[in-house]
Structure 1
Amino acid sequence: MARLSGLQKEVLRLYRKCLRECRKKPEATRAHFKAFARTEFEKNIKVDKRDFSAIEFLLRKGSRQLEMYASPGVKDIR
């Protein structure tokens, strides 16, 4: 298997964090959070892996979104 770059590891780390946060949500809405996370990552799958500035921007954006959706007051996402 090919070795992952630092940025690739960061992206995977963020994705795993998203999935972990999904487990903390009410069981009835977990699927919505998982689907949202997956969709957000899939939207940007075509970003060139050498476009570091775009990837770093998306990582920051994703981290902010995760922080927002991880708050206990957020029970569902659509």
Structure 2
Amino acid sequence: MRLSGLQKEVLSLYRQCVRECRKKPEASRKHFQVFARNEFEKNMGIDKRDFGAVEFLLRKGRRQLEIYSSPGVKDIK
């Protein structure tokens, strides 16, 4: 099955989240992974044709990733 452009963007964002988790301290790495996974699972039910909602969530996810990937953020709960 071929993926649409938005689907590819979502997968790319998820991969970026996983990569950033690896950069966090060992003790808190799992917290970041669980948080990222939960955020994606929470929105899995959104219709892939609802472009407005998907684009909004992509922007929100990118902002969150930018905040949480900064070196000052050591843990998330």
Normalising by structure 1, report the TM-score. Answer: 0.98
Q: Which amino acid aligns with 1:56?
A: E
The equivalent of 2:8 in structure 1 is 9
The equivalent of 1:69 in structure 2 is 68
Q: Percent identity?
A: 77
Number of aligned residue pairs? 77
The equivalent of 2:56 in structure 1 is 57
The equivalent of 2:25 in structure 1 is 26
Distance 1:26 1:16 in 2: 18
Distance 1:32 1:4 in 2: 29
Q: Which amino acid aligns with 1:34?
A: Q
Q: Name structure 2 gaps, 5 residues minimum.
A: none
Deviation at 1:48, TM superposition (A): 0.2
Distance 1:26 1:11 in 2: 25
Distance 2:68 2:48 in 1: 27
User: Higher helix share goes to which structure?
Assistant: 2
Distance 1:9 1:27 in 2: 29
Which of structure 1's runs of 4+ aligned residues deviate more than 6 A?
none
Normalising by structure 2, report the TM-score. Answer: 0.99
CA RMSD of aligned residues (A): 0.3
